[in-house]
Structure 1
């Protein structure tokens, strides 16, 4: 089990959304299933097909018998607005996709990995991402328990650094290797980008938007930032038109996990005051203040809230 340092003890009112690991029952769920598929693990099979030399099937017990490991990975939905809640951090238990692909023998020209669910949802991403050092896994566990039904039991795909719409197939029944131009996942013909790398994001959780704070009384500013697989180098906040000031970062589980940030603030004067946050990732990229909507490849902008100072 992964154990992480947290700012919770120092910031007692911090939202449950910013604990290092999202509780499973609070983890966001976005999918196209009208009803959650109920899959019998005894009869379920995962097929590895397409541009491979040795197509094969796995049972649930086959996967459980593999050398499983835990991976702390943040997932986010591409439709998440700046400051939104469609993001979560979990401990995923599974096996690297490249191990499954090695057994199959990936052919030249297999540029895309396509996952297909039992209810025919599909998502695809470049085959190279299974080999570039990030954690791209077949997951059968979540937060040290078997994968919950609503999150994809018996197995799902989790790829660090990609939005879920191009990768996170739940209730998985097939992994198919194909060309890049040979197939478009479910959301691509519906107006979303074919490639979905996760953008650098940050969020304010404390104080809440519109809350009242007392002039001269020190309060915590706190939230989270994420940029899988680049990690977070720095988080800064700005009050009104003041200069950006750095925040203290918690201990992240790694570059694929979100990180908590915190800074004390003593408001002065009175009236409505604006608070903004921005993050700089491990590649040196700092979030832009330019506002971009989620469609077609993810929102951009600084999360901004206002509080009433009295």
Structure 2
């Protein structure tokens, strides 16, 4: 009897394990089928993307900053992997429930579909059809789990003939019967579910990729015209050539990316349209990509900064942009800034992924090189940086100026409408703060005693940098040598020769802009309108 009891425990453990696997396979079926259906709707409607986007929408600013600070541009990958792990655990738990309550467990799988559908429709750019992939995936997963759970149901088996083994999944019981389940049927059903799911997933991926390929082809066909107002050559002396110092122009592949898009939008330039409308617009406009190419283009070096950039952080970069002056388009639409009696003080930009970004109309139209950018560093915009068109306003943090994948511009007021980040406690207006950073030596570096170059970058977009100072171990400030200034809209390199002595030392830097403001030493986080404080680096001189 002891052997029979032990065998029953083994059988129960095996069935529970396979039940968890059944739930996992049902979840896999839901995701793969949803991926296939999303190809007919749009890639952003797939459940993982929709749920991930919903999580981002509801993430407190402090947690968002934590993710950006610790995971950088991998924050979205970490989020997606986390969602998949939670879905897998949830699916396995449901599979175990279905082992005892088959209908209840199967019905619970529909939660996959409900959560995904609600998340997809509830996104800022959500549409009713976005619920379809999750709904279809949930229904199919319900059927898959019901089928597999049925194959795991315990059932009596006839006693084996004399001398014939019952096998590992049969337990002798009273009267010569045995408890067992449909092993062969489960294997066949599970194999079929895996094969069908994999096929659907691969097909969905390929179909979604085909749409992206068309957008990529439209980008490859673009030849940017020579700008009517080209940027002047980067002046000699703007690049100091110090080892470890950030280059004056940031390569596109190294340029920071911070946004909420889990799937980078792939927009065909041929079908792209931009609508300009709203309060005070006397002549609403709709322009195409070709319309913009035919207009007068400007080329400018502009440094962009993300409001999530911590003191000394990496989310700042300088590039050469080509685009159309935004103020010209607004004037063509009959827009007047508030300073000239216009009724709208906020320009709301909308992205194809539903992001909304609000900029002050007066700032956009005050003569600075605010633009609808088409090119970056001599090429059409990369998809990750907003192809086909993005917006740039020098001197403003990205969350109030730099809308990527833009498709709509609406004139309104700050009183009437709060854009995406403002609804999440960030400031309505956010000029970039004067900041500086030490690039070399790196934190915890071990330079040799003697002359050690301390170098970095400083920025105060649309004001310009007048002075950078460095100090060691809280001592007196030493003025650094500044690189030649390109423009007040770009960052500026600096360097100071440090007569380093052996031991542990703390280096600090501060900048003064052309308005006479010197960075404060008061440390403030990024919320609600950008970090402040002096960047410091600890090194051990040998």
Which residue pairs with 2:59 in the alignment? none
For each residue in 1:94-138, what CA deviation from the matched residue of structure 2 results, as whole angstroms up to 9, or x when unmatched?
A: 111110001111263111111000111010011001222222111
Aligned residue number for residue 90 of structure 1: 319
1:221-269 alpha-carbon deviations (Å, 9 max, x no partner): 100000011000000000112210101111222000000001111212x
Partner Cα distance (2:406, 2:360) in 1: 18
**Separation in 1 of the partners of 2:398 and 2:241?**
32
Give the one of 271, 289, 292 matched to 1:43: 271
SS in 2 for 1:153: coil
Secondary structure, aligned partner of 2:420: coil
Using a 3 Å threshold, how does the CA distance of structure 1 residues 86 and 40 change in structure 2: closer, same or farther? same
**CA distance, structure 1, for counterparts of residue 240 and residue 433 of structure 2:** 29
Q: Equivalent residue for 1:272?
A: 504
Alpha-carbon distance between aligned partners in 2 of 1:189 and 1:120, rounded to the nearest angstrom: 14
Residue 376 of structure 2 is aligned to residue 142 of structure 1: yes
CA distance in 2, matches of 1:134, 1:287: 24
Aligned counterparts, 1:216-295, within 5 A: 217-268=450-501, 270-295=502-527
Bigger relative contact order (CA 8 A; separation at least 6): 1
2:397 equivalent to 1:169 = no
Structure 1 stretches of at least 4 aligned residues deviating more than 6 Å after TM superposition? none
Which residue number corresponds to residue 56 of structure 1?
285
TM-score by length of 2: 0.55
SS at match of 2:300: strand
| 1:22 aligned residue (247, 250, 265) | 250
| d(CA) in 2 for partners of 1:28, 1:182 | 32
How far apart in 2 are the matches of 1:191 and 1:131?
A: 26
Query: C-alpha distance in 2, partners of 1:50/1:99?
Result: 16
Q: How far did residue 213 of structure 1 move?
A: 1.7
- Unpaired runs of 5+ residues, structure 1, are none
Tell me how far 1:93 sits from its aligned partner: 0.5
Check conservation: 1:8, 1:14, Cα contact below 8 A. Answer: no
367, 385, 396: which one aligns with 1:133 = 367
Q: What secondary structure is seen at the aligned counterpart in 2 of 1:299?
A: coil
CA distance in 1, matches of 2:263, 2:367: 35
2:534 to 291, 297, 302: 302
Q: Considering fraction of residues, name the structure with more strand.
A: 1
Unmatched segments (≥5 aa) in structure 2: 1-230, 337-341
Q: CA–CA distance in 2 between the matches of 1:189 and 1:117?
A: 17
2:301 maps to which of 69, 72, 79: 72
Q: Is the 8 A contact 2:414 2:428 kept in 1?
A: no
SS at match of 2:500: coil
- Whole-angstrom CA distance in 1 between matches of 2:391 and 2:481: 33
More helix by share: 2
Distance in 2 (alpha carbons) for counterparts of 1:2 and 1:306 = 38
Tell me how large the CA RMSD over aligned residues is. Answer: 1.3
Aligned to 2:442: 208
Distance 2:371 2:345 in 1: 17
| Deviation digits for residues 261-309 of structure 1 (CA, Å, limit 9, x no counterpart) | 01111212x3210100000001000001110110111000000001102
Q: Where do 1:151-170 residues align within 5 Å?
A: 151-170=385-404
